[in-house]
Structure 1
């Protein structure tokens, strides 16, 4: 098990700096991805196709950050050959940036739905669900990144638990929208855009959970990706 100070005791101060820098870059990427999700949701709800286009353009920057951070991790592995907790940190960062890039992709998909809705006319319903689930998964991403920054396994576990609630909210919202489409088939095209946006938000929640699982791996040294919540809780609470 490690704590937040474990990476500050190397003989090489340069190694300390490299680890701190790559972690900072990952968290900066996370902040940009968070903003991308918020901007995409706002663009959809407000019918702002210009803002949606900006989200799609900014996705290129997210992709570039993923490549750059991955290269940093590769250099550290090659030059420093880290062991134990340092190796787990580099691996966890490398995995987390993949999930962050995919969250950025989902924001881009929501932006695409926003553009299509702005062209076809406002959706008759579904925005309440998008706002609610969007806020929920936005908090999950924020908390997952905070957990990574602090090496906080309790916060990471809380994020993993929230994913189940998002899945339930998503299922309820989709069932409601499908019922609405059956009652008024003229809305099918627009409501499908809403469903695809909700699906992207549900995937954002999945990736936030993945980042939380990387935190638990980093701190506890156990891969919990295929653990249920009960097993994960036991692992976090195991001293």
Structure 2
């Protein structure tokens, strides 16, 4: 759970989502039906709950990988069903809103952004599960911790991207979303460096092939998590500005947003 997204309401001593004021005053207009407003708020809050769960899965998978913790890796694999079931439930509620409320304009963009975001979050969960499986396999090879130095650096960078992407979604922060998209370039460079390094190791010593391949698979999963974090930021920009920035350079996106 992302507790930072909730604050205590002194009127009723209950924790309420911090996004409520943003949602009402800035990000959504009021509707005649208060139930409709609540439905839109609810799906957005649940995306953040799913994001918190996925973030925890990624964190645990990385720890299991670096520490060769088989028990933790097995727990990540077992908990993946929670991510899947939550994604399905949110998707069904979005379908319900589309069918019964027939949203338009900004509301429609919100529902579309939610549907796309939960798909990417579910796939990030799948990457965490893949890393957990690699962690179990790696434990049998008794790797030294210094062999994970570069992978650990990549993991730390990717973990930060995912957190920033979820924060951008929570606040509908276009500037932060753009920063995440820019930072992904560094993730790509780190990933390519690890791949070249492991290929060199395999060429020099064939005995290193099993370990090198597992490190490469883990690096690939981390790189994909970075890409999907960028996707989430693209959906934030789509919702906030009504612009589809896929397949457009970051420089062109910044220029377009400045003109508007």
- Which band: TM-score by shorter chain? over 0.9
Question: What is the alpha-carbon distance in structure 2 between the residues aligned to residue 236 and residue 188 of structure 1?
Answer: 47
Question: What is the alpha-carbon distance in structure 1 between the residues aligned to residue 31 and residue 123 of structure 2?
Answer: 33
Question: What is the alpha-carbon distance in structure 2 between the residues aligned to residue 178 and residue 210 of structure 1?
Answer: 29
Q: Is 2:243 the counterpart of 1:232?
A: no
Aligned to 2:6: none
- In the alignment of these two chains, the number of paired residues is 238
Superposed, 1:46-125 pairs within 5 Å as 46-122=67-143
Q: Is 2:186 the counterpart of 1:165?
A: yes
State the Cα RMSD in Å: 1.6
Question: What is the alpha-carbon distance in structure 2 between the residues aligned to residue 183 and residue 108 of structure 1?
Answer: 31
Question: Can you give the 5+ residue segments of structure 1 that lack an aligned partner in the other structure?
Answer: none
Write out the 4+ residue segments of structure 1 that deviate beyond 4 Å after TM superposition: none
Aligned to 2:10: none
With the length of structure 2 as denominator, give the TM-score of the two structures. 0.88
1:75-108 residue CA offsets vs partner (Å, 9 max, x unmatched): 1111111111010000000000000001000001
Does the 8 Å CA contact 1:4/1:150 hold for their aligned counterparts?
Answer: no
Does the 8 Å CA contact 2:113/2:235 hold for their aligned counterparts?
Answer: yes
Residue 64 (structure 1) shift: 0.6
Question: What is the alpha-carbon distance in structure 2 between the residues aligned to residue 103 and residue 73 of structure 1?
Answer: 20
Does the 8 Å CA contact 1:156/1:215 hold for their aligned counterparts?
Answer: yes
Does the 8 Å CA contact 1:123/1:190 hold for their aligned counterparts?
Answer: no
Does the 8 Å CA contact 2:24/2:30 hold for their aligned counterparts?
Answer: no
1:194-230 residue CA offsets vs partner (Å, 9 max, x unmatched): 1100000000000000000001110110111111111
With the length of structure 1 as denominator, give the TM-score of the two structures. 0.95
Match of 1:194 among 212, 215, 218: 215
